[in-house]
Structure 1
Amino acid sequence: MKHIHKIFTLILISYFANAQVYTYPMLAKQFSTSYVTGSARMQGMGGSQSVLGADLSSIAGNAAGLGFYSRSEIGLNFAVNAASTSADYLSQSTNNTNNLFHMPNFGIVISGDYLSSSSWRGAFGIGYSRQVVLTQPLTIEGTNNRSSYLDNLIQKAGDKGATGATLDDEYDPYYNTADSPEAAAYQAYLINPNSTTGGAPFERYLPHLPTKQFGYGTNSGSVSQWDISYGAAYQDRLYIGLGVHFSKLNTTHSQRWDESFPGNNYVAGFSMEEQLITTGSGISASLGVIYKLKPNLRVALNVQSPTYYDQMNEQLTGLMTPQVSAIPVSGGIIKKVKPVKLTPNEFTYQMVTPFRISGGMAYFFGKRGLISADLELLNYSGMSVSSAELGPYANQQFKDKYNSQISKNYQSVVNMKVGAEFRVSSAWTLRGGAALYGSGFSSTYDSIDRNQFQVSGGLGYRSAAYYVDFAVVQRTGKDAYTPYALKNAADYASAALKLTNTQFTLGGGIFF
């Protein structure tokens, strides 16, 4: 199969993601970044779950928390996620929203009985959890007086030394497919070779007219896990847990880019649609410890290995649709040109996500409540990609190119989470929390502050036989999206983005 190292300009706004030109480092970052996970109880407390036990979140998180179970439990959680993106592009503001109903997690915990001759007890848990959920949409619109997306394709054609003849070689008339966007634009009469050289510099019709631009992007899918964990308690003071996590990745990124050229008697405009589908399976393991320094004070440490994705499968499709008014050609005028498809591309590669380590502390005010805090360290610069599909030499080039980008543009981050729980009666509990997530981008990438801030609250009811929890979490942050780039930075524009993501989660379970 063909491999395209930088396939196309693709919107990568996701549940936290950054919108930039599509690259494998950017996808690795997106697939490695999770925010609101776990049960409604833990979501309401800001996600500070590493030191708190006896909760279904321990199955996917710190498995040592399973050691706090003294009885068995089965439970599940449902959530509605509302994502909104406000964009400012070329002095024009737009907003797009998207809602998603999903299941953050469910699981079952089987608790062991106390043994009269042993100081140990333990609990086994198996569950399902969603670690990354893609929902963030994007719409941008504006009038560009400096450039068009076609100028980007003109530069690409020139950079690779293309001529009209070589771009014809990239086109299959039987299937009506082109191997690159610039070849598709050439077949659609949107760009033309210089009449003297037969190649660079390529041209477009009436380039000095204003260009009306409209971009729309959606993401869907998730990174989910099946988690199998065991936690044990020693004398109700030391808790140790081990988990194995089987990840399943299934995502779709889609975008449409429209341009129109008012007053252009040759080409009225065009649209470019692209879709990338990525699937993969991975495995990771975690080891956690919780220790009671005092009856009301405990600390925790949890280490999670990178997730090793043995085979990531991607499929890229695209379609360029021109709106032609009157193209002069030898022997007449062309008034209609059919859409040109991009040659479908399939490729497989391997990916390793960051190593992460988290620790926490919690203080309990008797049975009235608690306050907890977590710190989570992720080493984004430790991500890596490779491809066994390529030969040894090509694979080494692939790794050198993208893994050096990872080392240069990404860095370690520390995520901070705090939460509190207050029992207002024997059955009812109020919760609140906050979190700050680091962007993971180094200063060599750009100067945008992509940190994400999150606030949350919740309510819970407990009886001897069952429980019900509700939580609301809102996360906000900034980002930027560049639909295309040109050699002269003054000739293209980026959109300033404000991201808002709100999730409502309802969960419950029964004890047995």
Structure 2
Amino acid sequence: MKTYFTLLCLVAVASVRAQDPADMLRYSFYPTSGSARNVAIGGAMGSLGGDISSLFINPAGLGMYKTGEFVLTPGWGLNHNHNDYRGTAAASQLNKFQLGTCGFVFGQSAWDASSHWKGHAWSIALTKLADYNNHNVYQGLNTYSSYSEQYAEDAAQDGRTIDQILNDPGKAFGTSLALDTYLVDTFSTPSGLQYRGLPQFLLAKNIPLLQQKTVDAAGGLSEVAIGYGTSYKEKLYIGINAGIPILYYNETTTFTESASKPDPAGQFVSSTLTETRIVKGDGVYARVGVIYKPVSAVRLGFAFTTPSLVGVTETRSDTMVTNTGSYAGIRTAGSTTFLAGADPSFNYNLHTPWRALVSGAYVFHAVQDVRQQRGFLTADLEYVRYTSGSYHVPPNTGQNVPSGFYDGLNGVLKGLYRGTLNLKAGGELKLTTYLFRLGFAHYGNPYRDVSDLKAGKNVFSGGVGYRNFGIFADLTYAYSIQKEVDFPYLLADKANTFADLTDRRGEILLTLGVKL
């Protein structure tokens, strides 16, 4: 594990420090989404069809439509975070309106009554794959390390003078801020002149450092797709779609480190680093799928989703305020100071992992008239190859990216992540015009070293529905628990401290639809 994060450190301090291995996971690890019906059954729609969510899971399900429909899905998110950092617990929450799957399906029976191709349907819809809105806080006492050490390490490895480092735009997001505010300086030691962070002297005096990190995030990963599905003898269903992922992520991170007791030398009080990132992007992907009915009650499905090719523009602005008391007083420095007065934008291409889905369902009283069916049980097994994700620099952009930067970053991805399985299962009971649903989904740990990084997500869901007179309404509540880790900073010469994060999120979805 230490090898991966040592390499990550070396990548992180290079040049712009814009792309981060954690971003790949953020933009490709997303939970159950779609209509309220789909979420209620755990997202296991891969072999069922007949729902607009098929467009985003297995477009072959569109081939089961014989009529059209319009769907609207408003919702409300209830986000509660419970974190632990070095033995100190913290909690935070954020509740917010959200908009789920909305769109049209245009379906019809066979164009030629004698044809074996029995149905055709087109769909165009919008869905939100991931919701990034969050407010997260953790804090604790650290007797082991200081966040200043990452900048002292970088300055020492650089080998240049302080003035030379301050004149290097590549150090504007971190090291230059620390040097300019005197969080880090050179000191005489028995080994000669060396870089040290002022908080390190408090640790040497057994004075703990109080550290706190706050993250305020907004945005999401949405997807617009258009797809087509058809059926052959109403036993084999084939579908394809093309989609445009739309990415927007706005994050403000504040990390504060302060002396838990007065510094006897009066030289360090506190330091606060505020980082603001705005990430925008859009791209393209494709998905193909099939559903087969060996008998009327059994449905088997398969779908493959290509990597999304996303062009990303990222802007970043950093500010550091350090109070060094009698040493240099209160000093403020911003990244714009070292970048000719303006924070730059970074352009890069993101290739998200490919994924494959196998699924099966059993339908009770599987007659041709779906109104007479009595319910179903269904399950999906999805494989996501996170090691296939990668970053690339667009050609001819003129960006000053160090040689081998993206190769190193992609190497970190392959060392840090692995392919994983996601299991989704659910069922529906139909009583005339009323429907009752339950579901469960488990998202596997994407980290290769599962002993050190325990992450994953479980979603429990349930809902009710009503269908009559060409209208339908579905109400769902989903409760998810996701465990993750967060490293407030990364050091190359010692084990890294991290926070255990538990995100408990409730989601209320209401899908309203009308047959066309």
Q: Normalized against structure 2, the TM-score is what?
A: 0.87
Contact 1:219/1:254 (8 A) holds in 2: yes
Alignment of 1:74-473 (within 5 A): 74-114=70-110, 115-120=112-117, 121-170=119-168, 179-195=172-188, 200-204=194-198, 206-207=201-202, 208=205, 209-261=207-259, 262-264=261-263, 265-309=266-310, 311-327=311-327, 335-341=329-335, 343=339, 344-366=343-365, 367-388=373-394, 397-423=404-430, 425-443=431-449, 447-473=452-478
Given that residues 386 and 395 in structure 1 are in contact (C-alpha distance below 8 angstroms), is that contact kept between their aligned partners in structure 2? Answer: no
**Match of 2:368?**
none
**Counterpart residue type for residue 403 of structure 1:** N
From the superposition, tell whether residues 180 and 128 of structure 1 become closer, same or farther in structure 2 (CA, over 3 Å): closer
| Paired residues of 2:454 and 2:485 also in contact (CA < 8 A) | no
2:454 and 2:144 map into 1 onto residues whose CA distance is 27
Structure 2 residue 515 is the aligned partner of structure 1 residue 511: yes
Which is further off, 412-421 or 83-92?
A: 83-92
Contact 1:7 1:22 in 2 (8 A): no
Counterpart for residue 66 of structure 2: 70
By how many angstroms is 1:370 displaced? 0.5
Do the aligned residues in 2 keep the contact of 1:135 with 1:220 (CA within 8 Å)?
A: yes
Secondary structure in 1 matching 2:447: coil
Which stretch of structure 1 is more off in the superposition, 130-139 or 47-56?
130-139
Segments of 5+ residues of structure 2 without an aligned counterpart are 1-9, 366-372
Q: Greater shift after overlay, 493-502 or 101-110? A: 493-502
1:42–1:400 Cα change, 3 Å: same
Query: What's the CA shift for 1:126?
Result: 0.5
- Structure 1 stretches of 5 or more lacking a match? 11-20, 172-176, 328-333
Among 35, 48, 54, the residue aligned to 1:39 = 35
Q: Secondary structure at the match of 1:183?
A: helix
Structure 1 position 163, deviation (Å): 2.7
Deviation at 1:485, TM superposition (A): 3.0
What SS does the aligned partner of 1:337 have? Answer: strand
Q: Equivalents in 2 of 1:239, 1:56: separation in Å? A: 15
Q: Deviations over 1:68-124 (max 9, x none)?
A: 111110011112122222111122110111223111210101112333232322011
Once residues 500 and 231 of structure 1 are traced to their aligned partners in structure 2, the CA distance between those partners, rounded to angstroms, is: 36
Letter in 1 for 2:414: S
Classify the secondary structure of the residue corresponding to 1:399. helix
Deviations 1:8-36 (A, max 9, x none): 9x9xxxxxxxxxx9853321221011212
1:237-277 Cα offsets, whole Å, 9 max, x none, are 11111101111111122210112223132332121100111
Distance in 2, Cα, partners of 1:131 & 1:353: 13
Determine if contact 1:297/1:362 at 8 Å carries over to the other structure.
Answer: yes
Once the two structures are superposed, residues 360-416 of structure 1 have per-residue CA deviations (whole angstroms, 9 ceiling, x without a partner) of 111111122110011111111111111025679968613321222222222111111
| Letter of the 1:201 counterpart | Y
Letter paired with 1:323:
N
* 8 Å CA contact retained: 1:44, 1:472: yes
- Structure 1 position 60 matched with structure 2 position 61: no
Contact persistence 1:291–1:300 (CA under 8 A): yes
Tell me the CA shift for residue 63 of structure 1: 1.1
How high is the sequence identity, in percent, across the aligned residues? 25
Structure 2 counterpart of 1:501: 505
TM-score normalised to structure 1 length? 0.88
Distance of aligned partners of 1:180 and 1:360 in 2 relative to their CA distance in 1, 3 Å threshold: closer
- For 1:246 and 1:487, how far apart are their aligned partners in 2? 39
- What residue identity is the alignment partner of 1:139? V
CA distance in 1: counterparts of 2:492 and 2:407, whole angstroms: 24
**Cα 1:481/1:193, change in 2 over 3 Å:** same
Counterpart Cα distance in 1 of 2:32 and 2:95: 15
Q: Flag the 1:448–1:118 CA change in 2: closer, same or farther, 3 A.
A: same
Three-state SS of the structure 1 residue aligned to 2:32 is coil
Contact 2:320 2:332 (C-alpha < 8 Å) held by counterparts = no
Distance 1:217 1:393, change over 3 A: closer
> Is the CA contact (8 Å cut-off) linking 1:164 and 1:199 kept in structure 2?
no
CA distance in 2, matches of 1:203, 1:353: 38
Paired position in structure 1 for 2:482:
477
1:329-359 Cα offsets, whole Å, 9 max, x none, are xxxxx54434444542321111111111111
- Give the partner amino acid of 2:270: G
Pairs aligned (count): 483
Q: Secondary structure, in 3 states, of the residue corresponding to 1:202?
A: strand
- Aligned AA (2:217): N
Paired residues of 1:233 and 1:239 also in contact (CA < 8 A): yes
Q: 4+ residue runs of structure 1 moved beyond 4 angstroms?
A: 195-199, 389-396
Q: Deviations over 1:185-244 (max 9, x none)?
A: 221122221258995233426433332211111222111111100111122211111101
SS at match of 1:267: coil
SS in 1 for 2:49: coil
2-structure distance, mates of 1:202, 1:324: 13
User: Displacement of 1:446 after TM fit?
Assistant: 5.5
What letter is aligned with 1:460?
G
Q: Give the Cα separation in 1 of the matches to 2:33 and 2:45.
A: 10
